[in-house]
Chain A
Amino acid sequence: MRKISRLSRFNIASLTLGLAFLYLPILILVIYSFNASRLVTVWGGWSLRWYHEFFADRAMIEASWMSLRVAVSSATIATLTGTLAAVALSRGERFRGRTLFSGMLYAPLVMPEVITGLSLLLLFVALNAERGFWTVTIAHTTLTMCFVAVVVQSRLGSLDRSLEEAAMDLGCAPVRAFLSVTLPLIAPAIVAGWMLAFTLSLDDLVIASFTTGPGSATLPIRIYSEVRLGVKPEINAICTLVIALIAVVIVIASLASKLSSSQGESAAPL
């Protein structure tokens, strides 16, 4: 009885309004992507017209393909390096330059993207590297490995260390203990980290704008240049497709974290 009365009418109202605020704009966008009318705001009946236009738009398809390739490669490298970083921070105790290391891992999480993008571009120019797929991938890896490190580290932190210690007391070498005991336990967090890195890379406009070269625009860069020229119904369709893709990713990630919570540990927040 006490529990229920704690949830006041004010609480319910603020929750409902808050969630409506978060979801209504996206819902409206998705609905209008099926609008037959050329005018974005006049409803002309249901239609897949703008999806057809998108699939006929070569430049948009190429940009989508570029974005997907960058997102998969950078998320994969970021998951490897980010997991290593998380292991070093939570199991490595003290080592030389640890403060600098953790500082470098946290700073990009909050650093304005214009600064990160600009600094990476200046590096690539100084190295005379040709800008395109690889420079964007490196830039996205740098940003997203920090997110992977945080997600995996929070999972490692909540893990019972005595499991690893028991394995080692039973004669396991540390690396072996990590691979056969710790790694399976943090696997859901690693999966969630990959998904987060993938969506962050797919989403990024600012850093990609700085680090890509002519002729290799990512999807957000193309969408951005279209949106600046005015609203086009085709953009609604592309955005809906991206939302659908991300929804699939979220379902997989939440299944992974459900898997981790069913193993008796609390799930990582992301």
Chain B
Amino acid sequence: MKRLLFIIQKEFIQIFRNKAILPLITVAPIMQLILLSYAASNEVKNVNLAIVDQDLSSYSRRLVNKIRISDRFSIIDASYTESHVLALMESGEVDIILQFPPNFETEFLKGEDISLRIQVNAINGQGATIGFSYLNNIIQSFNQEIQGEVKGMPRKIKQGGIEIEHSYWYNSELNFQHFMVPGILGELVTILVMLLTAMNVVREREIGTIEQINVTPIRNWQFILGKMVPFLIIGMVLLTVGLIAGKLIFDVPMRGNLALVFAFCALNLTAVLGLGLFISNLVDTQQQAMFVAFFFVIIFILMSGLFTPIESMPEWAQYLTLPNPIAHFVEVMRKVLLKGSDFADVMFNFRATVVLSIVFNTLAVMSYRKVD
């Protein structure tokens, strides 16, 4: 026990003495949390629009005005010919072109079949669909408005109708940051700890200090545990600071039991630490360690449900998220903080992470060779 304490003490001294690492495990993650939470939004807030108005009628002007006052669109250019705005789309300055054909108004009033032409830059398919639907909504409501003004419009026959009423639970304002902050925090804590541990043992080996440890009467498990505890503590501190920052800056709701969050974090970190140490034992240089760790990190992040929902992945890929500790952490953070889910609701994640923890740590202990 005493030996273990000494090792832990030594690790802490080593970490705090390292001036290059210190800011990176304190300031940088919090900065990232803030930055990422602002950046990581799939919302389409602003669509750049160009208008080709060959009608120049009161209707076309009214519709353009309606678009202008909606806060989703910026009208970049209005022109009479198409070629000019197509060039703007080519250079990426314009996302959508709305074109009024000549005689739009007169033909509309005659009740003839007319259409507006919309061209969308669809390289980003999702953004294009959303932008198009915003514009479509404005046009539909404009259409209703002018239909009411037309004389001779047939009176509506009395017909049953399905009215739709919707409500958004847990996040009625659809605040994207409330969704992202818990997830990003879970991701940051996991990755920082994984990268640090992955490089740790191999660093000792590379700079030769491992020899000195090897000649001491320390046992494998003591060595591994001694390496783990400091990082576990760092991870927990980071989680605490991150939660406070999330509350103060983004006012993230915390509906569930925070003890559950901390307990899961501790469990998750032991799993990640095991993986990090396993990587560290496996490789020869810090460079390799970093790249192997990176390989996992990238896959873990992209397949964690942090940025895109797991439910949308093909089924085989959904199974691949099971051994991903970040996926579980992100899910637990979001469920407990935003929805107030209790232990029973996240039991599956707990079980899965216990299994991961056992597997990774067994691998770590087994792969550590004190004497080569």
Say whether A and B bind each other.
Answer: no
Chain A contact residues, CB within 8 Å of chain B: none
Interface of B toward A, CB cutoff 8 Å: none
